[in-house]
Structure 1
Amino acid sequence: MAGQDLLHTQPRPMHWLATATAISAVVAAASFVQPPDAKATTSPVAAAGPRPAAAPDPGRVTFPVDCGPNRLDVVKKASGDLDGDGTTETVAVVRCHSQTGTPPSGVYVLAQPSGPKAAPRIVATLLDPARRRTVQTLTVGNGAISAALLGYSTLDVPRCCPDVHRSVKWQWKGGKFVQSELPAAMSTQGL
């Protein structure tokens, strides 16, 4: 008879429905209960202040690089406040598209003019492709731009195999970007 006494404890669909309804009522009631000093906001950004402008998009810039019939590729980009004015700039590394070899890189700093539809503009050229250097790495941090550059010591060096390596840094000083060498341990040969 002990088995028959426990038959009434078996859950039936009606028990589950009643439990679900009770839980829903508790959750709904809790959503209406607020502390007396609670305030509603329309967006989390409104409470935090104005949203910073997005970093300039290099895809919206016409770079001063002639690639002939080939397209121009943005191969690296990094963003940060480079001049300490509270706005975000973008550093873009571009080069002509090539199936073989290593075309030279150009390094440009982009700023976003005011106005939501305005295209970013180039505010500085850090490395002109005419210098025939390739950017291997690019980083932006603490207001500085650091890059590892590859190049060639003579015209006889095959374009596949750069033999000159140099690490440089650009930093905003006196109203312009100033280039400096990183320690010799990071550079095997000057460019």
Structure 2
Amino acid sequence: MQPLAGQDLLHTQPRLMHWLTTATAVSAVVAAASFIQPPDATATTSRDTRAGHRSVTAVGTAPDPAKVAFPVDCGPHRLDIARQVSGDLDGDGTTETVAEVRCHSETGTPPSAVYVLAQSAGSRAVPRIVATLLAPGQQLSVRTLALRDRAVVADVEGYSSLDVPRCCPDVRKSVKWQWRGGKFVQSELPASVVTQSA
């Protein structure tokens, strides 16, 4: 039996409206789902971001020499941090600090000690001494300290003998320490090389 033309139109209209309503509802559900992520996905992303931030901070943070107990005996006098410079000395992507320390004195020129510091694991960890470039027993005083192309460069002065007054060093030279073969190698620079104080 053939439906009448009017009946066919009436029968089609509800189907079309039903289809439009269903399509609108499905679109709304899909749109809402795109804004919602599973809890574990959000936690993983946050952890990854924080870990990356910590890594960048650790790489760029120079060890603080004020937190280090240096192996220098100053008796009743305090130990002064005279100079410090920071940079990546061994090419591993982390920052080291080179610190010159010496016993406090109102007169004379006390001998210097120069140490390389690296940051220990953890943001609150105390930096550690990884190398001694100049020991106090060498009886040399640092006049300038700088970093050049991952090398530590310094002008130092000392005494040719015990007869020379401690106020007036008579030996002067420029030295360089550079990371080679897993250690710092010292070399003397020509007298014409002048370094800049840090």
So what's the TM-score if we normalise by structure 2?
0.68
Q: For residues 77-88 of structure 1, what are the structure 2 equivalents within 5 Å?
A: 77-88=84-95
SS in 2 for 1:98: coil
What is aligned with 2:32? none
What is aligned with 2:67? 60
Q: For residues 44-59 of structure 1, what are the structure 2 equivalents within 5 Å?
A: 50-51=56-57, 52-59=59-66
1:183: how far off?
A: 1.5
What is aligned with 1:125? 132
Q: For residues 147-166 of structure 1, what are the structure 2 equivalents within 5 Å?
A: 147-166=154-173
What is aligned with 1:89? 96
1:142: how far off?
A: 1.2
1:179 equivalent among 162, 186, 190: 186
Cα separation, 2, equivalents of 1:181 and 1:98: 28
Seq. identity, % = 65
Q: For residues 105-124 of structure 1, what are the structure 2 equivalents within 5 Å?
A: 105-124=112-131
Cα separation, 2, equivalents of 1:76 and 1:121: 17
Cα separation, 1, equivalents of 2:175 and 2:62: 23
What is aligned with 1:37? none
1:168 equivalent among 164, 169, 175: 175
What letter is aligned with 1:180?
A: S
What letter is aligned with 1:62?
A: A
1:164: how far off?
A: 0.3
Listed one character per residue, the Cα deviations across residues 123-173 of structure 1 (whole Å, up to 9, x for unaligned) are 000000011000000001211000001000111111111110010000000
Task: Find the structure with the greater CA-based Rg.
Answer: 2
What is aligned with 2:36? none
SS in 2 for 1:92: strand
Tell whether 2:111 aligns with 1:104.
Answer: yes
The 1:83–1:163 alpha-carbon spacing in structure 2 relative to 1, beyond 3 Å, is same
Displacement over 2 Å in runs of 4+: 49-53, 184-187
Cα separation, 2, equivalents of 1:102 and 1:156: 15
Listed one character per residue, the Cα deviations across residues 23-82 of structure 1 (whole Å, up to 9, x for unaligned) are xxxxxxxxxxxxxxxxxxxxxxx89x9333310000000000000000000000000000
So what's the TM-score if we normalise by structure 1?
0.71
What is aligned with 1:76? 83
The size of the alignment, in residue pairs, is 142
SS in 1 for 2:56: coil
Unaligned runs of 5+ in 2: 1-51
Unaligned runs of 5+ in 1: 1-45
What is aligned with 2:144? 137
Cα separation, 2, equivalents of 1:183 and 1:154: 23
1:185: how far off?
A: 2.8
Cα separation, 2, equivalents of 1:58 and 1:101: 24
What letter is aligned with 2:152?
A: I
What letter is aligned with 1:179?
A: Q
